[in-house]
Amino acid sequence: MVDVTSGAVDIVPPAEVPDVELYHPRSWWTTYVFSQDAKVIAIQYAGTAIAIGLVALVLSWLMRLQLGFPGTFSFITPEAYYQFITMHGMIMVIYLLTALFLGGFGNYLIPLMVGARDMVFPYVNMLSYWIYLLAVLILTASFFAPGGPTGAGWTLYPPQAILTGTPGGQSWGIILMLVSLILFIIGFTMGGLNYVVTVLQGRTRGMSLMRMPLTVWGIFTATVLALLAFPALFVACVMMLLDRLIGTSFFMPALIEAGQQLQYGGGSPILFQHLFWFFGHPEVYIVALPAFGIVSDLISTHARKNIFGYRMMVWAIVAIGALSFIVWAHHMYVSGMHPWFGYFFATTTLIIAIPTAIKVYNWVLTLWRGNIHLRTPMLFALAFIVTFINGGLTGLFLGNVVVDVPLSDTMFVVAHFHMVMGVAPILVIFGAIYHWYPKITGRLLNEGMGQFHFWITFIGAYAIFFPMHYVGLVGVPRRYPELGDAAFIPASVQDLNAFITVAALIVGFAQIVFLFNLAWSLRHGREAGDNPWRATSLEWQTPTTPPPHGNWGKDVPVVYRWAYDYSVPGAPEDFIAQNDPGPQTAAGATA
Amino acid sequence: MSVILVFLLVIAGISAWWLAHQRLMSKPWLEQGSLTATAYTAAPGMPTAKFGLGVFLAVVGSLFALFASAYFIRMASLDWQAPPLPRVLWVNTGILVLSSVALHLGVSASRRDALSSMRLALVAGGLCTLAFLAGQLVAWRELSASGYWLRSNPANSFFYLLTGMHGLHIIGGLVALGRTTARAWTAESGDRVRLSVELCAMYWHFLLLVWLALFVLLAGWVNDFLAIGH
């Protein structure tokens, strides 16, 4: 092994960042509610995100009931169906996935994994959560507003988003949605500044960038993307809000509605699409990169092997992040833009498959001859790889203009993005919760319930989304609440739709087992100890579990190695913690 | 979308330059020890708050670059008719420059530990900024008085939207400046408030830059320049 320090290893350089002055909560309120501790904020973020996510889950059931058994449920009118679609999509993508990965896992894991006591701006971090909560409440309020929530589709395309014919278009729905998004972005920016600056300025001694666990790399890069991409959504929302409230014509062309000329004129709906997807495509990677990072750590830990090609993994994360900004118009192949643009964006889209494929190969090669422990977190991680490959391959179809044009706006697209950015990240979230729950609570989740939850979820997700590809290939359009008697749609499509609906209901109900497990294990789970998975990264080396306020007790840890020293030949155990100075120092023999 | 792409290119350039100094080629699996030779922070010696403000300004920059991109795309439509540039904007620009200069002087006063001149500079900066905001309101009134309403033309809409967005950012800065000034009044030495003053000055210089860019945009000089190019 190469020893970087020329002198004694145990001479620790002075801290470049002086030990932070922690804020000290004085009452129950400031400890558990208005807390500035990143770990409490993380749990608040995660709890809120999961709660609103359950609402979105119920909405998906309602949609599936309509598609599987059309006409059976009289309360699901076409308008209601559009509202369900819109709210389901928006909640899942932004208020659940983004908030849970960055606000939840980011807040909990970044300070612990880089050896900091807390985020660098704890007060701003606290504000971030409360603004997020406000955004969620405003979004929820739109269910109870006159006219109901907006039914514009999750992309909120103008002009239809603010016209009378769209549910919520000329009532409260769209206004509440836009205001909620604007608040979400402001709140996220506050949190995002914390995640980025903590990674850059708050690392402990010895934690060079190339020693950070890939989870931190993933969350960090995703946050950078989000900070630069969310302003695009902000701009789009502000301008649409002005169009709706004041009557400007940023996006609204001249329109005749019910025989009446509207006051709008000259606006560009395509401009909205550009802004929306300039945010929307990085958003895919804002969700995917943390998942990539987390899954790398789960696989390495539970296969007891160092991650294959760590450097390549880091470079791939950064490359994907950079490329994700120049592929946005592949969502707009059918918008009537210049064919040369389509050609350009198809090329960049296919190029981004290269770093992504590198990551997949490296996960598989990490598993190769590993000592694989098929515990629940590992099962979810493996399921992610399979699902991500699956969704990624259909992405190659849709990334090509000529293939995309006939498939555009069919259920094939729905199946594709649910596989790649719905099911795949959710599998990682489950795996991550099973993996880190022992650190958060001090107890392990029940393994039996975990396995049951995994198999139902994994097989069920395929039962839902695999047939959906075929439904789409036949030509069934998305966003249609009822298919009617179209000649090109065979009767078997209806059978498949009914099957998908039943599967969706079963998978949804299986999540109750997971929620029960979360609550039950809090009291009755097996005691986990500090490091139940015998993992190397810093969060497992805290002096007490769950980690107290300030994380590390008297001294912050010093890092001597990377995060993947598993099964090192000659080492006394099959892992060496990052803060383990190693045998040389222990024996007193240096260099 | 070219403005935002150019902006991101600059950000990417800075990031790449910085990453190139982070030993990305190192082989962490071969190295152990406490790595005394490397820095653990991105900007050694720079206060965390200042670094954080820098990141925030990148986000604000991205926001305004996107507004500018939207401006150019929308401008291509036939119904675009730019309103006349209110004369008072020239005065406002001068006042905003003065406020930036005042805060700059405030920073150097705090470094010299000259408390009274620092306080004076902070108050002068704040007053100039308030005058700038008032001047912007005058510009709005002037336009609307001559019939250039917010919704009568997209060019007008953008004028109000961009100046309004910039004004909101200025107001946010004024909150921070107000708190800093209050603290400067009770502080016994310049050291205690120097960082806050520096942060205010940094924010002000940045918003001045943003304003100059917006001014060029709203005055239509970019188009003239492009027209010469053709």
Please state which of the ranges A306-315, A361-370, B136-145, B214-223 shows the lowest mean pLDDT.
B214-223
Determine contact, residues A187/A162, Cβ cutoff 8 Å: no
Q: Is the pLDDT of residue A19 over 60?
A: no
Q: What is the pLDDT of residue A269?
A: 92
Contacts B43 to A, Cβ<8 Å: 200-201
Structure tokens, A179: 């205001």
**In whole angstroms, what is the distance from residue A457 CA to residue A504 CA?**
10
Q: Can you list the pairs that A244-248 forms with residues at least 24 positions away whose Cβ atoms lie under 8 Å?
A: A244/A162, A244/A174, A244/A175, A244/A178, A245/A175, A246/B150, A246/B151, A247/B151, A248/B150, A248/B151, A248/B154, A248/B157
In Å, the largest CA–CA distance within chain A is 90
B130 in contact with A, Cβ within 8 Å: no
**In whole angstroms, what is the distance from residue A133 CA to residue B152 CA?**
37
Determine contact, residues A146/A172, Cβ cutoff 8 Å: yes
B88 in contact with A, Cβ within 8 Å: no
Residue B39 within any structural domain of the chain = no
B157 in contact with A, Cβ within 8 Å: yes
Q: A438 preceded by cis ω (within 30°)? A: no
Provide the β-strand partners of residue A2: B31
Q: What is the pLDDT of residue A9?
A: 40
Q: What is the pLDDT of residue B42?
A: 64
pLDDT category of residue B40 using cuts at 50, 70 and 90:
low
Q: What is the pLDDT of residue A161?
A: 93
Determine contact, residues A416/A391, Cβ cutoff 8 Å: yes
Residue B136 within any structural domain of the chain = yes
Q: What is the pLDDT of residue B133?
A: 97
The residue-averaged pLDDT of A333-345 equals: 87
Q: What is the pLDDT of residue A361?
A: 96
ipTM: 0.94
Contact assignment for B24 to A231 by CB distance below 8 Å: no
Determine contact, residues A296/A363, Cβ cutoff 8 Å: yes
Q: What is the pLDDT of residue A56?
A: 97
How do residues A216-232 score in pLDDT, each as one tens digit? 999 999 999 999 999 99
Q: Is the pLDDT of residue B38 over 60?
A: no
Contact assignment for A562 to B31 by CB distance below 8 Å: yes
Look at the alpha carbons of A54, A43, A324, B64 in this order and tell me if their dihedral is positive or negative. Answer: positive
The residue-averaged pLDDT of A32-57 equals: 95
How do residues A543-562 score in pLDDT, each as one tens digit? 998 999 889 888 889 898 99
Q: How many other CB atoms sit within 10 Å of the CB of residue B112?
A: 11
How do residues A190-210 score in pLDDT, each as one tens digit? 999 999 999 998 888 888 899
Residue A7 within any structural domain of the chain = no
How do residues B97-144 score in pLDDT, each as one tens digit? 999 999 999 999 999 988 999 999 999 999 999 999 999 999 999 999
Q: Please tell me whether residue A153 adopts helix, strand or coil conformation.
A: coil
Q: What is the pLDDT of residue A584?
A: 56
Provide the pairing of β-strand A2-3 with B31-32.
parallel
Give Cα separations from A402 to A55, A66, A304, A324, A481 (angstroms).
Answer: 37, 32, 44, 21, 27
Q: What is the pLDDT of residue A8?
A: 37
Q: Can you list the pairs that B5-11 forms with residues at least 24 positions away whose Cβ atoms lie under 8 Å?
A: B5/A325, B5/A326, B6/B65, B7/B61, B7/B62, B7/B65, B8/A228, B8/A325, B8/B62, B8/B65, B11/A228, B11/B58, B11/B62
Query: Given phi > 0 = left and psi -120 to 50 = alpha, else beta, which region is B113?
Result: left
Give Cα separations from A412 to A45, A330, A350, A406 (angstroms).
Answer: 33, 16, 19, 10
**In whole angstroms, what is the distance from residue A301 CA to residue A432 CA?**
12
Structure tokens, B105: 């002087």
Residue A316 within any structural domain of the chain = no
- Averaged pLDDT score across all residues of chain A: 91
How do residues A428-479 score in pLDDT, each as one tens digit? 999 999 999 999 999 999 999 999 999 999 999 999 999 999 999 999 999 9
Q: Which structural domain range is residue A88 located in?
A: 32-208
Contacts A192 to B, Cβ<8 Å: 59
Domain tally for chain B?
Answer: 1
Q: Which of B10, B19, B66 best tests the A interface by mutation, with the highest count of A CBs <10 A?
A: B66
Contact assignment for B59 to A227 by CB distance below 8 Å: yes
Give the residue, B27 or A585, on which the prediction is more confident.
B27
CB contact residues (below 8 A), chain B span 159-188, against chain A: 161, 165
**In whole angstroms, what is the distance from residue A577 CA to residue A435 CA?**
17
**Minimum CA–CA partner of B38 in chain A:** A208
Contacts B22 to A, Cβ<8 Å: 208-210
B19 in contact with A, Cβ within 8 Å: yes
Query: Given phi > 0 = left and psi -120 to 50 = alpha, else beta, which region is A121?
Result: beta
**Minimum CA–CA partner of A267 in chain B:** B74
- Among A4, A246, A565, the residue with its CB nearest the CB of B35 is A4
Q: What is the pLDDT of residue B41?
A: 64
Q: What is the pLDDT of residue B76?
A: 87
**In whole angstroms, what is the distance from residue B37 CA to residue A380 CA?**
39
Q: Is the pLDDT of residue A6 over 70?
A: no
Q: Which of A173, A190, A208 marks a domain boundary?
A: A208
Residue B93 within any structural domain of the chain = yes
**In whole angstroms, what is the distance from residue A243 CA to residue A236 CA?**
11
Percent of chain A with pLDDT over 70: 95
B189 in contact with A, Cβ within 8 Å: no
Structure tokens, B84: 């006349």
B20 in contact with A, Cβ within 8 Å: no
Contacts A322 to B, Cβ<8 Å: 12
Q: What is the pLDDT of residue A4?
A: 44
Q: What is the pLDDT of residue A3?
A: 42
B154 in contact with A, Cβ within 8 Å: yes
Q: Give the CATH number for residue B160.
A: 1.20.120.80
Q: Which structural domain range is residue B91 located in?
A: 83-229
Q: What is the pLDDT of residue A139?
A: 97
CA angle B213, B214, B218 (to 5 degrees): 125
**In whole angstroms, what is the distance from residue A96 CA to residue A60 CA?**
14
Residue B110 within any structural domain of the chain = yes
Q: Which of A175, A208, A241 marks a domain boundary?
A: A208
What length does chain A have? Answer: 591
Q: Is the pLDDT of residue B225 over 80?
A: no
Determine contact, residues A207/B40, Cβ cutoff 8 Å: yes
Contact assignment for A5 to B30 by CB distance below 8 Å: no
Q: What is the pLDDT of residue B29?
A: 86
CB within 8 Å of A556: residues ≥ 6 apart: A15, A19, A115, A116, A117, A204, A205
Domain tally for chain A?
Answer: 2
Residue A317 within any structural domain of the chain = no
Contacts A235 to B, Cβ<8 Å: 63, 66-67, 70
Residue B113 within any structural domain of the chain = yes
Q: Which of A153, A180, A208 marks a domain boundary?
A: A208
Residue B137 within any structural domain of the chain = yes
What length does chain B have? Answer: 230
Q: What is the pLDDT of residue A485?
A: 80
Residue B199 within any structural domain of the chain = yes
Q: What is the pLDDT of residue A12?
A: 46
Give the residue, B32 or A123, on which the prediction is more confident.
A123
**Minimum CA–CA partner of A326 in chain B:** B5
Q: Kindly state the DSSP code that residue A251 receives in the 8-state scheme.
A: S
